[in-house]
Structures are given as structure tokens and as C-alpha cells.
Structure 1
């Protein structure tokens, strides 16, 4: 049987993995793209305009000003479209996708590996996804009365 590890050991290893991910090219590109966004005055002006219009839309919705709300929403769509057309914004959004993909991939790898290790440690077959053991019925729950 394999050696068990403590929760602290697992957390320590997770922190090491987090540091590795933070040093990845995907995260580095994300940080650079974020800095470019912060330095770009046109982007900042559009972001501020969007925030202002969002506040106006919330107020219009609160006071049941449907026509004004529609106008604000149309304006917000135009501002967001204009923002999305800026290359540095496109790069930033792409870098977000890449970092999220990396994190999702790591989550899937960990989940799959834990499942496989459980199956293997019980003498099961990872290809079928079945754990091992003498009894094919793993648990019977009596019906509620």
C-alpha cells in the first residue's frame, strides 16, 4: 500500500504548482497585456465611459425609464464594440482565455489522475473506470420508510 500524505503536504505542493503557473508564459503575457491596457489612454477613456453608462442604465432601470434604458444599452453596445476592436484589448482578452485554459487543464489533469489512482489502488481498471474488489455491488442503501 502507498504512503499517505497530510493535507498540509498537499497544500504545500499546490502552492508550488501555483508558483509555477504564475511563472508560465501565459501568465507573463497576461501581465504584459494588462500593463498595456492600463497605459492606453483611449482604452481607459472607453472603460470609464462604459462604467458611467452602466451606472446611468442602472438608474434608468431602477426608475422604470425604459426608453432611457434602451438608449443607454445601445450606447453601451457601441462602446463595448469600439473597445473590442482595439488590438491591445483583443490581446488582453486572448491572454485571459489562455490563462483560463491552462488553469482548466490543470484542474482536469489533477481530477483525472486522482480518479485513476483510486481505481488502480483498489485493483480496478482505469480504462473501464471500475474500481476493484470482490463484490461488484459497492453499496446498497435501504429504501426510506
Structure 2
């Protein structure tokens, strides 16, 4: 790839735009929520215990319903997941993380659409990722589905 001054300028603009995002209120909220979560001993204990349960769950899933501990391990994982999701520090972090993800997705969609309406941007949302045609044809929109 031959780098021209235009490419260098474009990359610099991208870095500058990254700095705009990292100086936004949404980003600061995310960082504050992450720090609060990292300092919260109770939440960290829940996370560590859940990770242990998740390892057991992964092992049980290899054998499915035929594993002798399948029902108990599956039940334990669901209960601990609920505890994780309802813990205030974890819930605040997840909300801040989702807001930052939504901002980055929106920016990505705007940039991609400015270049071409046929560019696919993975959003994490199947409705947007499919482009309205049920899964993406890979032809760059020439099939008329996107």
C-alpha cells in the first residue's frame, strides 16, 4: 500500500476523532463505572465465583443433559448471573459500557454510510447487521437487499 499525504491526513483525523470520543461524557462515565467496579470487593467476589461456575458450566455443556450435574450447574449459573446483573456496581458498569458501545456503533454507521450505503458495519444488533435481507449476501449490495 502506497501511503500518500491524503492517507496520513485521514489517519491523523481518525486519531483526533478518537481523542474527541475519549474526552466525551459517555467515555468518562464508562471509566468511572469501571474504576468503581474494580474497587468493589463484593462485586469482584461475585465475578470470581461466577467465573468458577462458568468453567463448570462449560465442562457440563460438553456432555449436555447426560452429565450428572447438568441441572444443578445450569441452575447455579442462572442464579449467579441474576445476582451479577442486579449488583449495583455491575449494573452501572454494564449500562455505561452499553452507552459507549452504542456511541461507537452510531459513529461507525455514520462513517460507513458517508462512504457508501452498501458498507456493512457489525453492530451487535442482528436487525442492523442483516441489512434487511436475512443474513448478508456478500455481494456488496448488488443483490438489492441492503
State the TM-score, normalized to the length of structure 1: 0.69
- Point out the more displaced range, 5-14 or 78-87: 5-14
Q: Which residue of 2 is the match for residue 51 of structure 1?
A: 51
Offset of residue 113 of structure 1: 2.5
Alignment of 1:14-93 (within 5 A): 14-62=14-62, 66-93=67-94
Structure 2: unaligned runs, 5 residues or longer: 118-146
Q: Distance in 1 between matches of 2:90 and 2:60?
A: 29
What is the CA–CA distance in structure 2 between the aligned matches of 1:87 and 1:58, rounded to whole Å?
Answer: 27
What is the alpha-carbon distance in structure 2 between the residues aligned to residue 96 and residue 29 of structure 1? 9
Aligned length in residues:
113
- 1:26: how far off? 0.5
Larger radius of gyration, structure 1 or 2? 1
Give 4+ residue runs of structure 1 displaced > 4 Å after superposition.
none
Q: Considering only aligned residues, what root-mean-square deviation do their CA atoms show, in Å?
A: 2.1
Distance apart, 1:59 and its partner CA: 2.6
Structure 1 unaligned segments of length 5 or more: list them: 117-145
